[in-house]
A and B are shown apart, each in its own frame.
Chain A
């Protein structure tokens, strides 16, 4: 069954269709959230929020875009909102400033021995850490391009801007990333 048909069925109260959509997109959603927030527990909570939003908003889906585009958009928006809320809360709680133990970013920070031999996965963690230091608009487009292998057109549909604007963000992002990766490059 096509994604659009599943959405139609969800709006009429078909539970099987909803579970089918959940099974089809749960891995995509959890990994989009995980890459943005860097914490498994938070990514799982966000995944539930994303599907709750899908369930509640299915009747408003206009079928003008692909269902996957719509789902990406919800996952990204909820993750960024979560990060904004978290940052705001941390202003009032110094104790919470320490990243949680299972954060991928903690592992990245601990990779501070420049003379160690980085394997490909460790190098990718360095890249991911640098990406996560970018402003949100740049971070999202780089992640969608690098990890989801989406085209400029697909990214533009998700973030609701022109392909030109996506390219401009990618250019700014990659110039920023170069500066962030430079210390690691110099240690090679």
Chain B
């Protein structure tokens, strides 16, 4: 397999998502090709870095801002308007 074809499959290789035979073929190629193995290291440095992408916390008001057709907090019933609590 050519270096070009190998490189296109590197993300799948890194994620262990290639068929076993193909995975081994690439592994074998990498062992003998410094250009591809160097390239793999660079790809891995981007792809395999910790996926600690920013997560956000819901605003505290998110629940209180829910539409009034939601469960009414005073009555404990769903769908009652605020003024409907008698």
Contact = CB atoms under 8 A, between A and B. Distances in A.
Interface of A: 10, 13-16, 18-19, 22, 26-27, 30-31, 34-35, 40, 43-44, 47-48, 51-52, 55, 104, 120-121, 123-128, 146-147, 167, 170-171, 174-175, 177-179, 181, 184-185, 188
In this complex, the interface size class of chain B, counting residues with CB under 8 Å from chain A, is: 35 or more
A124 B71 contact: no
B14 to A, nearest CB: 9
Nearest to B17: A170
A146 B39 CA distance: 22
Interface string B21-58: 00000000000000000010011011101111111111
Main secondary structure on chain B at its contact with chain A? loop
A27 B58 CA distance: 6
B52 A13 contact: no
B7 A15 contact: no
Contacts of B52: 120-121, 124
Nearest to B39: A185
Contacts of A120: 49-50, 52
B39 to A, nearest CB: 7
A178 B57 contact: no
B15 interface: yes
